[in-house]
Amino acid sequence: MGGPASLARATSIEPGRTGNWGLNARLNVESIESTLGFYYRRFNDYNPWFQPNFTGFLTIPGVGTVPTQYQLVYPKQVSLFGASFARAIGPVSVGAELSYRKDGALNAAGIDPITQEGPRGNTWHALVNGVYLFPKNPLFDTGSLVAELAYSRLGKVTSNEAYYRRAGSLACQVTPGGATGDKTDGCSTSDYVGMQMLFTPQYLQIQPSLDIELPMSLAYNLRGNAPSSGGGSEGEMSWSVGAKFIYRQKHELQLMYADTAARTKYDPTGRTVIGGRGSVGTTDRAWWALTFKTGF
């Protein structure tokens, strides 16, 4: 980063390379033709809090005390308890998960300079998904539809609550000393609901040994801003469409177009952006991707 107002990046605060472990047990229940799973994990998070820790403070006459460096901070010693359920219901393969995260990273407005950590809390997470395989029909030879609904809820904040970006709190101020913000400013609500879908029609043997797939995906956050760090914001959306050519079930060429959308917040004039939720400011960066994969 260059320029007179830039900050140098300092060494990140990372956990040790040990201490990640877990247990997993599965049970096949033949009487209901289902598989149950039970999980426990103790881990260090590989994603930092989205707000950095500012260091290297310097007093400048006429300006005040300002930081000269920033560093990323990674959560450590997070616990997860989980259970899963899987079975076929008619033509649909259904899966469900429920998990409880203890001392996980929450949506942060900053890092506590004493503990050098962001806000932590206990959160509940649930999801249900289904996979349906289409039979041959007049529109395509075969295909699949994958759909998922996700939910999360804050149990309680366990540390550094003053830095938790909760809607209506002091940590949710849009401007220093100004009024507190709400979920339209990207601040967290107690609950969050989101969905994802992937529809892939397939056309077989268009030419000898050549199949074509047309994958189309959509992810949309339906309600609320997740309490967890990076958990999603209401109204945020991402989508993609593509075409994949498969030759002899060995060579794959795929062309994909993808884009995102988020809810931007404007001032009363409707001309100046003052915030929003989700990836505001990056929604003008649609992209094309071309990939080739083969086997030997």
Kindly report, residue by residue over 139-162, the tens digit of the pLDDT: 999 999 999 999 999 999 999 999
Question: Per-residue confidence at 192, pLDDT binned at 50, 70, 90?
Answer: very high
What are 130-140's pLDDT values in tens digits? 999 999 999 99
Nearest to 132 by CA among 168, 163, 88: 88
Extended beta strands in the chain, E state: 8-9, 21-29, 34-43, 53-55, 58-60, 64-66, 69-71, 78-89, 92-105, 120-134, 142-159, 191-207, 210-213, 216-223, 237-247, 251-261, 263-266, 273-277, 287-293
Question: Per-residue confidence at 33, pLDDT binned at 50, 70, 90?
Answer: very high
241-261 burial: b if 16+ Cβ within 10 Å, else e: ebebbbeeeeebebebeeebe
**Which residue would you say has higher pLDDT here, 39 or 63?**
39
Q: What integer best gives the mean pLDDT of the chain?
A: 91
Q: Is the pLDDT at 26 greater than 60, yes or no?
A: yes
| For residues 70-85, average pLDDT | 96
Q: Is the pLDDT at 2 greater than 70, yes or no?
A: no
Query: How is the chain split into domains, by residue range?
Result: 8-293
Q: Is the pLDDT at 45 greater than 50, yes or no?
A: yes
- What's residue 17's pLDDT? 79
Q: Angle at the Cα of 284 (from 283 to 290), degrees rounded to 5?
A: 100
Q: Is the pLDDT at 3 greater than 80, yes or no?
A: no
Q: Is the pLDDT at 171 greater than 70, yes or no?
A: yes
- What's residue 177's pLDDT? 62
- What's residue 1's pLDDT? 45
Q: How far is CA 155 from CA 102, 122, 123, 152, in A?
A: 9, 5, 5, 10
Nearest to 128 by CA among 201, 194, 190: 194
- What's residue 216's pLDDT? 98
Nearest to 102 by CA among 83, 82, 81, 79: 79
Q: Please, are residues 101 and 42 in contact by the beta-carbon 8 Å criterion?
A: no
Cα–Cα distance, 117 to 110 (Å, whole number) = 9
Q: Is the pLDDT at 88 greater than 50, yes or no?
A: yes
- What's residue 176's pLDDT? 62
What are 282-291's pLDDT values in tens digits? 777 899 999 9
Question: Per-residue confidence at 271, pLDDT binned at 50, 70, 90?
Answer: confident
Question: Per-residue confidence at 5, pLDDT binned at 50, 70, 90?
Answer: low
**Which residue would you say has higher pLDDT here, 62 or 150?**
150
Cα–Cα distance, 107 to 121 (Å, whole number) = 10
- What's residue 12's pLDDT? 93
